Amino acid sequence: MKFLIKIITILLISSLNVNSGEITDMEWTILGDIKVFYYDKNIKSTFTKVECYAYKKNSDAPIGGGTGLGTASGTATIRVEVPEKYENKSGLSMKCKTVN
């Protein structure tokens, strides 16, 4: 019985959506959006969707977001739209994750 519980626990832990990627760079575009460059070794194809969200400093509510598709090399470029009053300002944080 203990063995069965251990196996079930291992299977549950391995099936959790672990976000192992990282944002490698960000830049403001001429349109006022943020272009996010993201890498995750688990991205294997162009069918992997990546979502990114922009946050104000010390806030849990996103102020903008965007999606992009991965490449076979594990990279993705995501365009994140933010309200005009935040355009070209520093102090925003960004979080990204893959969506299967």
Q: Which domains does the chain have, with CATH numbers?
A: 17-99 (2.60.40)
Average pLDDT over every residue of 61-76: 92
- Nearest-angstrom CA–CA distance, 88 and 71: 28
Residues 32-50: what's their mean pLDDT?
90
Residue 96: both structure tokens together: 């990204």
Average pLDDT score over residue span 48-68: 93
Question: Which of the 8 DSSP states describes residue 96?
Answer: E
Average pLDDT, the chain: 82
Q: Give pTM, 2 decimals.
A: 0.74
Read off the pLDDT of each residue in 71-79 and give the average, rounded to a whole number: 92
